[in-house]
């Protein structure tokens, strides 16, 4: 069965994962360095060298849209949810003051806790055998119309037919518990809030600031895998007015449209993100807290051990290929 909806286990799991407060600087480290000693993305000032008043003014300015350079959109997303008090606390921390625990040890402990934490089984509720049994109409002698269809109510009444309310209240990046993969090498769902991060545009892809392999470790984020730095598509070129795919002419003078016997494309490792992977949210979806309308009987094969929390597609890609 195809999954049409995802849901997540809530409650104690989420409360337990709230490792960072809103005034933490943990989420800044990936771009600014652990001690704000770097030029974020090669563009910002070295923030540790700014005065406290200047930091406060900059952060408030990003929030109000009155401060910043070409990449101010990125910072606007970072400070959107911060109160004036949070901003003061952050500036104090950056300038070495007390207040918020952001020393290295705390950050590393938090990142380690995230990495070691068990993943949330996204399907626990939808795949509950008791629920599946209850919703399996084939095992019932009598079936009344209130269990048919998705509205779960009499066909003659229009009360209570609204879909369940959707709550988008996932914790901030760094404070979220990851979800179990839906099947082996499924794109992992986004476990953290995406407030201020979406939509991804040509000039503003904040996902990269934390997930690129060189910064991901210091952020406690899963690095973007090797598959996303590889072009698997057949090489297609125009040669003397002919379309040539992987060396085979498929254009006007060639065997039009017959590309079936083209050998598997040679994969090309790139030293940059493959552009077909730029729009992360095309495949990785943020999650909301909703129950599925129907139970789910899908059971993935081979989703055992660490495959529940990581992929091995780059290594498995050529499995069975001669
Ligand atoms: C995804 C990368 C990224 C993250 C995460 C990030 N920043 Fe920034 N930050 C930038 C960039 C890029 C700029 C320069 C933006 C511009 O063009 O104005 C910047 C600018 C700033 C500035 C002003 C410096 C200047 O050049 O005027 C301050 C202060 C700052 N950031 C603090 C923070 C704090 C505090 C956090 C965490 C709450 C944070 N940043 C998180 C990328 C990031
Ligand atoms: C401020 C840093 C930061 C930003 C920005 C960020 N992430 Fe994350 N991401 C994390 C961290 C840290 C985790 C691990 C879970 C946690 O601690 O919240 C994570 C986890 C994930 C996962 C789950 C990976 C797994 O192994 O299950 C996905 C998918 C993901 N992020 C996608 C995205 C996408 C897409 C964007 C942009 C819309 C994005 N992230 C922006 C820090 C970030
Ligand atoms: C075309 C669909 C697609 C796009 C676009 C895409 N991904 Fe993925 N991603 C996948 C699939 C499928 C997997 C699991 C198989 C694999 O590792 O390639 C995955 C795996 C991942 C993982 C987990 C790696 C691991 O080791 O377990 C992370 C993190 C991730 N992607 C981040 C991103 C980010 C960040 C972006 C945007 C820059 C992005 N992805 C864009 C499909 C996509």
Beta strands in the chain (DSSP E): 230-231, 236-239, 242-245, 248-249, 268-269
Q: Is the pLDDT of residue 313 over 70?
A: yes
- Residue labelled with tokens 């979406």: 198
Q: Is the pLDDT of residue 101 over 60?
A: no
Contact 52 CB / ligand 3 (< 6 Å) = no
Contact 95 CB / ligand 1 (< 6 Å) = no
> What CA–CA distance (Å, rounded) separates 87 from 23?
7
Cα–chain center distance at 57: 31
Closest ligand 1 atom to residue 91 Cα is 35
Confidence of residue 150 (pLDDT cuts 50, 70, 90): confident
Question: Separation of 13 CA from ligand 1 center, angstroms?
Answer: 31
H-assigned helices in 117-264: 129-135, 207-211, 213-219
- Residue labelled with tokens 């500036």: 91
> What CA–CA distance (Å, rounded) separates 269 from 247?
19
Pocket test for ligand 1, best of 41, 52, 64, 75 (most atoms within 8 A of CB): 75
Question: Separation of 159 CA from ligand 2 center, angstroms?
Answer: 39
Confidence of residue 14 (pLDDT cuts 50, 70, 90): very low
Could you tell me which of 77, 75, 89 has the C-alpha nearest to residue 20? 89
Q: Is the pLDDT of residue 149 over 70?
A: yes
Domain ranges of the chain: 12-204+281-316
Contacts of 14 (CB under 8 A, 6+ apart): 171, 177
Contact 58 CB / ligand 1 (< 6 Å) = yes
Contact 181 CB / ligand 3 (< 6 Å) = no
Mean pLDDT throughout 146-159?
A: 80
Question: Residue 76: helix, strand or coil by DSSP?
Answer: helix
Contact 230 CB / ligand 3 (< 6 Å) = no
Contact 74 CB / ligand 1 (< 6 Å) = yes
Confidence of residue 40 (pLDDT cuts 50, 70, 90): confident
Distance between start and end Cα atoms, the chain? 31
Could you tell me which of 312, 228, 310 has the C-alpha nearest to residue 277? 228
Give the per-residue pLDDT at 104: 52
User: Could you give the percent of the chain with pLDDT greater than 70?
Assistant: 81
Contact 220 CB / ligand 3 (< 6 Å) = no
Question: Separation of 59 CA from ligand 1 center, angstroms?
Answer: 8
Mean pLDDT throughout 170-190?
A: 92
Q: Is the pLDDT of residue 1 over 50?
A: no
Give the per-residue pLDDT at 82: 87
Contacts of 119 (CB under 8 A, 6+ apart): 177, 178, 179, 180, 181, 308, 309
Contact 224 CB / ligand 3 (< 6 Å) = yes
> What CA–CA distance (Å, rounded) separates 29 from 40?
9
Contact 227 CB / ligand 3 (< 6 Å) = yes
Question: Separation of 222 CA from ligand 3 center, angstroms?
Answer: 10
Least confident interval from 79-88, 110-119, 252-261: 110-119
């Amino acid at each position: 069965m195809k999954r049409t909806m995802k849901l997540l286990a809530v409650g104690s799991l989420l409360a337990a994962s709230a490792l960072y407060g809103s005034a933490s600087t943990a989420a800044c480290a990936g771009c600014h360095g652990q001690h704000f000693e770097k030029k974020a993305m090669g563009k910002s000032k070295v923030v540790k060298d700014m005065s406290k008043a200047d930091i406060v003014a900059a952060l408030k300015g990003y929030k109000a849209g009155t401060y910043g350079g070409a990449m101010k959109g990125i910072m606007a997303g970072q400070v959107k949810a911060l109160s004036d008090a949070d901003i003061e606390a952050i500036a104090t921390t950056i300038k070495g003051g007390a207040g918020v625990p952001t020393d290295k040890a705390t950050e590393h402990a938090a990142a380690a806790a995230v990495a070691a934490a068990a993943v949330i089984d996204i399907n626990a509720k939808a795949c509950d055998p008791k629920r599946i049994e209850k919703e399996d109409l084939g095992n019932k002698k009598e079936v009344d119309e209130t269990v048919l269809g998705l509205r779960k109510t009499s066909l003659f009444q229009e009360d209570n037919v609204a879909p369940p309310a959707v709550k988008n209240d996932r914790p901030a990046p760094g404070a979220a518990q990851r979800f179990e993969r839906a099947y082996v090498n499924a794109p992992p769902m986004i476990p953290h809030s995406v407030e201020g991060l979406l939509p991804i545009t040509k000039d503003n892809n904040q996902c990269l600031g934390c997930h690129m392999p060189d910064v991901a470790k210091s952020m406690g984020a899963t690095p973007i895998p090797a598959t996303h730095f590889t072009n698997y598509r057949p090489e297609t070129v125009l040669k003397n007015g002919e379309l040539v795919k992987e060396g085979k002419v498929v254009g006007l003078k060639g065997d039009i449209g017959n590309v079936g016997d083209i050998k598997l494309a040679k994969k090309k490792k790139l030293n940059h993100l493959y552009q077909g992977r730029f729009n992360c949210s095309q495949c990785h979806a943020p999650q909301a807290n909703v129950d599925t309308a129907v139970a789910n009987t899908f059971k993935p094969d081979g989703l055992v051990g660490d495959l529940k929390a990581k992929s091995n597609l780059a290594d498995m890609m050529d499995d069975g290929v001669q």
